Amino acid sequence: MGSELPYTINDADNHFTEPDDCFVRYIDPKDKDLAITPVRTPDGKRMQLFAGKPSKFMSSESNQTVFSDEALKEMLGTADFHRTDADDDGPRMTVIPGSDLNRLNPLKGMNEEERKAFVQEFRNKAEAFGNRDLRLALMDEQGIDKAFMFPAAAHDIEYEFVDNIPALYANIRAFNRWMGEEVGFVAEDRMFLPPYIAFADPDLAVKELKQVIKDGAKVIQTKSGHAHGGKDNPYGGRSLADPIFDEFWNICNDANIRLAVHLGGTDYQKYGADWSEDPNAVFGDFTAFQWMHYWGDRTAFELTSALILQNFFGRFPNMKVCLSELGTVWLPYTCRKMDHAFLMGRKAKWAPNGRLDARPSEIFRKHFIVAPYPEENVQRVVAEIGIEPIVFGSDFPHGEGLAYPGKYAAAQLGGFSDADVKLIMRDNMENFLAGAGE
């Protein structure tokens, strides 16, 4: 189902499925015991071990599995990696694209026969979700020219290894090596897989940055919210604009590297202790309060306001930031509050005389692009922020994503002129990428 527009579209929030053994295959041999390793539990369920430990992100305290040394040995086997059944080699599709949406749910109004045909269509396409050439062909079919594609493992890797920095960087190196060697950080100038960078160790962050730039990266990614607090404060945080990272950002600024930030696991639930919530709760156990305050919006507006109000762009004027899968509900409020602080004369940290050169909302429009969630009210955010930063993001092939990205404009952008629709669906992201890595 191609684009129903007279031009191909650009997609700022798409996803690529990494092979579950990529860490084991690409990690340095000396670090093999630290690798993220896919296994089957004794009862046959798939899971990953993180340096030999079950995931902290998705496991519930009520059903947290703690394995004995004997069970772990059985699961891991005597080889570095082993598959437990023939199905492991084939493509897997655990969700149906668009099935978690409401108004734009593609299954809406279908009869049983049509639903089965729809599911089969995407089962047949599942191999393309993690295959470079097949994915480029699927992009052609969907009418997509360029896309940022985020492999899933990067979204929670810092949460899993918050207190194990050697394992964090060993697995990031393996992950980026897989990405660069088997897919490419930039495939045919169309498919952009941003290598992941963690900021727990400024020197190791610089080392990884230099390597991925050498290997062809034009866009890098990191998590939303504050950076890791460092080896002496693993459960704390630091701003990405902190001068401790200036060497890193100077390299990015000189090389015109773009920064992409995607929704993922953070430790923000620690702040719930002040609200009678469990600060150690994992994502799968979040209460409504925790989900509202610590999953997405707060991490986005704190990161955005830190970069602007701490003079990041005054110091690194070539930097541009893409916010993917973080929505826009929080954005009008954030820009109003930043502008208010600016007009009140509040000091901007790490800025000459504490002053910014422009209103924060103007800085945002110049340096950011952001993709609304598929069912958000785009007219509302454009009325407050302007159209310059708004880009299309399909979140394909996730359950809350769009099964047919080309249908989005007709469904959600009916109140815009043709010229403005083209800005959102293509040109704003095209402008963001212009000169990247040059």
Q: Do 85 and 160 fall into the same domain? A: no
Q: Per the structure block, which two tokens stand in for 115?
A: 């639903």
Lowest mean pLDDT among 93-97, 230-234, 325-329: 93-97
Confidence (pLDDT) at 96: 83
Q: How many CA atoms lie within 13 A of 45 on its CB side?
A: 6
The one-letter amino acid code at 398 reads H
Q: Do 352 and 323 fall into the same domain? A: yes
Q: Which of 214, 137, 211, 201 has its CA nearest to residue 174?
A: 211
Q: Do 285 and 377 fall into the same domain? A: yes
Query: What are the strands of the beta sheet with 186-187, ordered from one edge?
Result: 9-14, 144-149, 191-192, 186-187
Q: Do 76 and 208 fall into the same domain? A: no
* In 126-192, alpha helices (H): 132-142, 157-160, 165-178
Query: What's 282's DSSP letter?
Result: -
Strand partners, 262: 223, 324
Q: Look-up: residue for tokens 């890797």? A: 157
Q: Of the candidates 41, 57, 89, which is a domain's last residue?
A: 89
With 80 as the cut, is the pLDDT of residue 91 above it?
A: no
- Cα gap 377→384, rounded to integer Å: 12
- 222 and 259 in contact (C-beta within 8 Å)? yes
Q: What is the pLDDT of residues 186-236, one digit of tens each?
A: 999 999 999 999 999 999 999 999 999 999 999 999 999 999 999 999 999
342: domain CATH number is 3.20.20.140
Q: Do 367 and 405 fall into the same domain? A: yes
Confidence (pLDDT) at 283: 85
Strand partners, 186: 192
Q: Do 305 and 351 fall into the same domain? A: yes
Q: Do 149 and 173 fall into the same domain? A: yes
- Cα gap 13→429, rounded to integer Å: 11
Helix (H) or strand (E) holding 375: none
- Cα gap 9→393, rounded to integer Å: 10
- Domain membership flag for residue 438: no
Q: Of the candidates 89, 121, 138, which is a domain's last residue?
A: 89
Q: What is the pLDDT of residues 52-79, one digit of tens each?
A: 888 887 654 433 344 455 654 554 453 3
**pTM exceeds 0.85:** yes
The DSSP-derived string for 95-124 is: S-TTTT-STT-TTTT--HHHHHHHHHHHHH
Count: domains in the chain: 2
Q: Do 40 and 13 fall into the same domain? A: no
146: containing domain: 9-17+129-433
